[in-house]
Amino acid sequence: MTQTDLSWVRTELAQPMPAPPGERGLVAWVRKNLFASVGDTILTLVGLVLVAMILPPIIDWAFIQAQWTGPDRTVCATVAQGGTQPDGWSGACWSFVNAKFGQFMLGRYPLEERWRPILVGILFVALLAPLLIPRVPHKGLNAVLFFLVLPIVAFVLLVGGMFGLPHVETPLWGGLLVTLTLSFVGIVVSLPLGILLALGRRSKMPVVKMICIVFIETIRGIPLITVLFMASVMLPLFLPAGVTFDKFLRALIGVSLFAAAYMAEVVRGGLQAIPKGQYEGADSLGLSYWQKMYFIVLPQALKLVIPGIVNTFIGMFKDTSLVYIISMFDLLAIVRQNFSDASWASPQTPASGLIFAAVVFWLFCFGMSRYSMFMERRLDTGYKR
Amino acid sequence: MASQEVLREEPTRGSLINDPRVRSIFIQVVAALALILFIWWIVGNTIDNLQRLRIASGFAFLKGRAGFDIADSAIAYSSDSTYGRAILVGLINTAIVALAGIVTATIIGFMVGIGRLSNNWLIRKICTVYVEVFRNIPPLLVIFFWYFGVLSVLPLPRDSIELPFGSYVNSRGFYFPRAVWGEGAWLILLAFLLGIAMSWFVARKARQRQMATGQQFPVFWTSVALIVGLPLLAYVASGFPLSFDLPKKSTFNLTGGFQVKPEFLSLYLALSFYTAAFIAEIVRAGVRGVSRGQTEAAGALGLRSGPILRLVVVPQAMRIVIPPLTSQYLNLTKNSSLAIAIGYPDLTAIAGTVLNQTGQAIEPVLIMMAVYLGLSLLTSAIMNVVNAKMALVER
C-alpha cells in the first residue's frame, strides 16, 4: 500500500507582508483622517477655510506687521492717528509691552528696591523647581523651605521695614507680583482649610457639620466679586474701631476663603470615594480620628482628587484677576490701566497688552494642568476602582 | 474559667476624656459657643462702627430716589426711580445676560465637545486649540479683549460696517432691524403657541402608536410644519401685520433699529466663549463615558449611526453631563458679575453704585448674596428636574 502524504505542514513562519500601499504613508493617513467620507470631506474643507481665514491675519498682525521696539505711540499709530505708520496699517504693538514690562511684572514697586521682588522670584523658582521634579532628593527639607521659610523671607523682603530695608507699602505692589503672591498664599491657605472644612462636613457632629455646610454653600453660591466686596467694605465694619488692616491682606483673606470652599467640595469627593473598609480598618487598629485621617484616609483621598485640586488652583489663579474690581493692580489690571497712558494710546495698544497678559496667564495655567496630568500618572498605583 | 468571669464583669469605666460621646458633645458645645461669641463680637463691632460713622441701617433706603442713570434697562427706569427699582433693573440685566450666555455657551460647547471626538483630524485639532486657549485664561481678560481689543476699535458710527439684513456694527454696538408688530399680531403668537402644543400632542400620540403597533410617524417634520407653518398662515391671514424699523445712517449716528450696546455684547460673547470651553470638556467626558459596548450592541441590533447616537449614546451621555453642566451654568451666572469691570449695569454693578451712594455697606452686599444664592438655587432646582428625567430608571 502506498500512502500518499496529502497533508502539508509549513515548517517556517510566513513573514508578515507589508501593508497594502493604500494603507500606509501620508496619503493613507490623509484619506483616513481628513477625507474618510463625503461628510468628512466637507468638514475638512470648512475647517481649512476657517483656518485660512483666521490664522494668516493673526500671524500677520502679531509677527509680520508688529512693532517690537520704539520710544512711544508714534511707532504704533498710522499717520492719520498721529503716528508714523502708513494708513491702513494694523499690527501688534509689542513695543508697548516692551516699554512697560517692568510695570507689568512689579507694578509701581520703587525702582531702586526692585531687586527685592526679583530676588524673591529667583528664590521661588529655585525652591519650586526641585520640588516639582520627582527625582531630586530631600523633598521634606525642600517642602519646609518652600512652604515655611520662603513665605517669611518673602514677607521680609517684599514688605521691608526691618533689617534696614525701606518699607514698601502694598498699594505700590502690582503686576505679576500681586497675581503670584495672591495665588501662592491662596494655594497654601486654601488647601489645609479646605481639607478641614471637608472633614467637618463629613463629621458626625451635627453642630460642626452645620457650620461647615453653611459656610461652604454660602461661599459657593455667590460670585467672588461679592466676596471681595465683603472683604473690602464689610470687613472694616466688623472689626473694633481703630483696627484696620491692609487692603492687600483683605483681598488675600477673601480669595483664600473663596478657594477653600471650592477645595472643600473637591476633597469631600475624594473622601466619599474611599471605601468604608478603610475607615473601619483604621478604627480597628485603634487609630485616633486624626491618625486615621492623616495616615490612612487623606493620602488616598487626596491622590484621587489631584485633578480637582489643580483645577481649583487654576481657577483661583485666574480669579486673582478680579481684584481689579476692588482697585488693586494685578497683572491684568495694570495692563488695563496702561491703556490710558497718553504716550502709548493707540488703537493697537489694548489688544497687544491683553494678548501679552493672556499669554502669561495661559502659560501658568497650562503648565499647572500639564504638571497635574504628569503627577496623576506618576502616582497611579494601578489600583483603579 | 477565670477568663469567663472576667468577661462577665462590667467593663471598667475609663476617664470621661476618653469617652467618644462625651468628647463629641464637648467639642460641639465649644464650637457652638465660639461661633456665637464670634458673631456677637462682629455684630457688636458693626453696631459700634455704624453709630460712630453715622451710617443708617435697615432697608428703608430701597424707597429712596436713586438719582443715577442706567444705560441699559429692560424696564422703565429713570434717575427719579427708587433704589429698589434700580436693583430690580440690575437683577433683570443679570438674568438676561446669564440666560443668553447659557444658551449660546451650550450650543458652542456641544459643537466643540463633539468636534473633539470627531474622526476628522483637522476638526479635532481646531476644537482642542479652542478649548485649551479659553480654559486657561481668566474670563475677565476675555471680556476686556472683546471690549477694548475688538469692539472699541471698530469704526465710528458714520463709517459703520454694513452687515446683511440691514444691520450695522460700529464702535457703539450692533444695530439690527426691530420688528414692529401691527394690529392682529397676537394671532401669530397664538398660532405659534398652538403649533407647539399640537406638536407636543402629535409626539405623544406617535410614541403611543409606536409602542402599540411599532409603526413610526414623522414627528420631526410634522412639528416643523406645525410650528413654522401655523404662524406663517396666521401672518398671511391677519394681513401681514409685521414691519421692520430699519437702522438708518445719518451723518453722525445711526437712528432707529434695535441697538445692542458693546458692554452687553462683550460680556455676552466673553461669557459664552469662555464657558463653552468648559462645557465642551464636559460633553466630551460624557460621550467618552458611554462604553463602546453600547455602540457596538446597538450596531449589532441593526441601528445606523444616526439612531445609535440619538437613541443609545446621547441619553446615556446626558446622565453624566447634566450635573457638571449645572455647575457650569451656575459659574456663568456668577461670572456675569464681571460686568462691573466694563460698566454693564448688572446686579453687582448697580448694588455697588447703591453702596457707594448710600454709604450703607451691609445691606446691598446682603441683597447681592441673597439674589445670587437664589439664582443658584433656582438653576439647580431646574437642572435637578431635568436630571431626574434623565436619570437611570433601575428596574
pLDDT at res. B306: 80
Could you tell me if B138 lies within 8 Å of chain A, comparing CB atoms? Answer: yes
Name the helix (H) or strand (E) containing A353: helix A349-379
The strand pair at B178-181 and B254-255 is best described as unpaired
ipTM value, please give it: 0.83
pLDDT at res. A381: 66
Q: Which residue in A229, A241, A339 is closest to B48 by CB distance?
A: A241
Kindly state whether residue A18 falls inside one of the protein's structural domains.
Answer: no
Judged on CB neighbours under 10 Å (0-12, 13-18, 19+), A164 is: exposed
Could you tell me if B377 lies within 8 Å of chain A, comparing CB atoms? Answer: yes
B139 shares its domain with B282: yes
A79 within 8 A of A351, measured Cβ to Cβ: no
Above 90 in pLDDT, residue A158?
Answer: no
Could you tell me if B381 lies within 8 Å of chain A, comparing CB atoms? Answer: no
In percent, how much of chain A has pLDDT > 90? 6
How many domains does chain A contain in total?
Answer: 3
Q: Which residue in A207, A318, A322 is closest to B31 by CB distance?
A: A207
Q: What mean pLDDT value characterizes chain A?
A: 83
Closest by CA to A358, choosing from B376, B375, B133, is B133
Whole-angstrom Cα distance, residue A34 to residue A42?
9
CB atoms within 10 A of CB A381: 7
pLDDT at res. B11: 55
Distance from CA of B138 to the nearest CA of A (A): 5
**Residues A104, A110, A113, A116, CA torsion sign:** negative
Whole-angstrom Cα distance, residue B5 to residue A374?
60
A147 within 8 A of A184, measured Cβ to Cβ: no
Determine which of A43, A214, A217, A237 to mutate to test the interface with B (most B C-beta atoms within 10 Å): A237
Closest by CA to A349, choosing from A23, A94, A78, is A94
Whole-angstrom Cα distance, residue A185 to residue A193?
12
Could you tell me if B140 lies within 8 Å of chain A, comparing CB atoms? Answer: yes
Q: How confident is the model at residue A302 (pLDDT cuts 50, 70, 90)?
A: confident
Long-range Cβ contacts of B149-153 (<8 Å, 24+ apart):
B149/A350, B149/A351, B149/A354, B149/A355, B150/A351, B150/B266, B151/B262, B151/B265, B151/B266, B152/A350, B152/B262, B153/A347, B153/A350, B153/A351
The strand pair at B258-260 and B173-176 is best described as antiparallel
Helix axes B83-116, B314-335, angle to 10 degrees: 140
B392 shares its domain with B293: yes
DSSP labels for B354-372? HHHHH---HHHHHHHHHHH
CB atoms within 10 A of CB B32: 14
Residues on chain A touching B334 (C-beta within 8 angstroms): 222-224
Radius of gyration for chain B, computed over Cα atoms and rounded to the nearest angstrom: 29
A356 shares its domain with A228: no
B283 shares its domain with B380: yes
Judged on CB neighbours under 10 Å (0-12, 13-18, 19+), B159 is: exposed
CB contact under 8 A, B126 and A47: yes
A359 within 8 A of A335, measured Cβ to Cβ: no
pLDDT at res. A1: 55
pLDDT at res. B395: 54
pLDDT at res. A130: 83
How many residues are there in chain B? 395
In percent, how much of chain A has pLDDT > 70? 97
Determine which of A354, A361, A363, A364 to mutate to test the interface with B (most B C-beta atoms within 10 Å): A354
Kindly state whether residue B106 falls inside one of the protein's structural domains.
Answer: yes
Name the helix (H) or strand (E) containing B163: strand B161-163
Grid cell in block for residue B143: 471680556
Could you tell me if B17 lies within 8 Å of chain A, comparing CB atoms? Answer: no
**Among A167, A193, A210, residue at a domain's last position:** A167
Q: Which residue in A44, A207, A366 is closest to B122 by CB distance?
A: A44
Kindly state whether residue A53 falls inside one of the protein's structural domains.
Answer: no
CB contact under 8 A, B376 and A221: yes
Determine which of A93, A210, A233 to mutate to test the interface with B (most B C-beta atoms within 10 Å): A233
Q: Which residue in A33, A207, A321 is closest to B141 by CB distance?
A: A321
State which residues form the domain around B387: 61-152+262-395
pLDDT at res. A385: 44
The number of angstroms, rounded, from the C-alpha of A277 to the middle of its chain's C-alpha atoms is 36
B272 shares its domain with B387: yes
| Range ranked top by mean pLDDT from A95-99, A381-385, B328-332 | B328-332
Q: Which residues of chain B have pLDDT under 50?
A: 1-3, 6
A246 shares its domain with A292: yes
A231 shares its domain with A139: no
CB atoms within 10 A of CB A1: 2
Give the pLDDT mean for A314-329: 86
pLDDT tens sequence across A129-154: 888 888 878 878 888 888 888 888 88
Kindly state whether residue A241 falls inside one of the protein's structural domains.
Answer: yes
pLDDT tens sequence across A214-265: 888 888 888 888 888 888 877 877 877 777 777 888 888 888 999 999 999 8
A238 shares its domain with A310: yes
CB contact under 8 A, A33 and B121: yes
Provide the 8-state DSSP code for B65. B
Closest by CA to A266, choosing from A238, A211, A226, A306, is A306
Report the CATH number at residue B92: 1.10.3720.10
| List of residues 6+ apart from B286 with CB closer than 8 A | B317, B318, B319, B320, B321
